[in-house]
């Protein structure tokens, strides 16, 4: 099985290395034609605005949307999660183009700047049910987004309770504040909907290959 990794910018090399650990061939994808040679796709973390500009330059968006609509497995981590969301908030002026397909609202850079990046333990019982091992996993959050709302067809795989001392420093626009209040201080950080998997954190930067 060949798994494509969108290689425009970001942590694509780390994903390819992680795939190698489980005996899967990772293929760098930079052009629409290269999607035809892979059976699944990972959209890695990185700088989402830059990735969107490069994807637009290479005319990748139509091919990526078709790939998703065909039901082929697609996983977005961090910036990749933003790309796959139907709606993104907290964007820079003018916004950015999205692939869509995942019925959720994602807040870009929800957890703040680079210096506010962090690691934490996450409860992930559904991951353990399917892949075995511990029902917890390590979450590496780097300028990370968060899912504020998820549609009825979206399965939540992990969420994160925001510590009280961090509540003031996380995203503070009205929609984010309402979502945090509604969920009693929690945000969603991993979901699955049909063929789409999304994580706000970076499993490829840990030794846990279950994701």
Residues of each annotated binding site for L-glutamine: 46-48, 108, 142-143
- Distance between CA atoms of 86 and 195, rounded to whole angstroms? 15
Annotated binding site: 46-48, 108, 142-143
Cα(205)–Cα(15) distance, integer angstroms = 8
Which residues form the catalytic set?
Answer: 78, 202, 204
H or E element: which one contains 102? strand 102-107
Q: In terms of Cα–Cα distance, which of 79, 101, 103, 100 is closest to 91?
A: 79
User: Shortest CA distance to 120 belongs to which of 92, 159, 89, 149?
Assistant: 159
Tokens read off for 108 = 């870009």
Residues 188 and 176: beta-carbon distance below 8 Å:
no
CA distance 42 to 4: 6
Question: Nearest CA to 119 among 134, 102, 137, 97?
Answer: 137
């Amino acid at each position: 099985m060949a798994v494509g990794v969108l290689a425009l910018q970001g942590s694509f090399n780390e994903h390819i290395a992680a795939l190698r650990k489980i005996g899967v061939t990772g293929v760098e994808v930079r052009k629409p034609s290269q999607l035809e040679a892979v059976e699944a796709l990972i959209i890695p973390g990185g700088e989402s605005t830059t990735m969107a500009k490069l994807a637009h330059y290479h005319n990748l968006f139509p091919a990526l949307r078709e790939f998703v609509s065909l039901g082929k497995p697609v996983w977005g981590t961090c910036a990749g999660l933003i790309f796959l969301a139907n709606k993104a908030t907290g964007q820079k002026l003018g916004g950015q183009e999205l692939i869509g397909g995942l019925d959720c609202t994602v807040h870009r850079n929800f957890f703040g700047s680079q210096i506010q990046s962090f690691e934490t333990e996450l409860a992930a019982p559904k991951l353990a049910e399917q892949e075995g091992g511990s029902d917890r996993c390590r979450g590496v959050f780097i300028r990370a987004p968060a899912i504020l709302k998820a549609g009825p067809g979206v399965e939540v795989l992990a969420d994160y309770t925001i510590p009280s001392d961090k509540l003031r420093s996380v995203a503070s626009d009205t929609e984010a504040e309402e979502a945090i209040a509604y969920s009693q201080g929690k945000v969603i950080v991993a979901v699955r909907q049909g063929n789409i998997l999304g994580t706000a954190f970076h499993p490829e930067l840990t030794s846990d290959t279950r994701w």
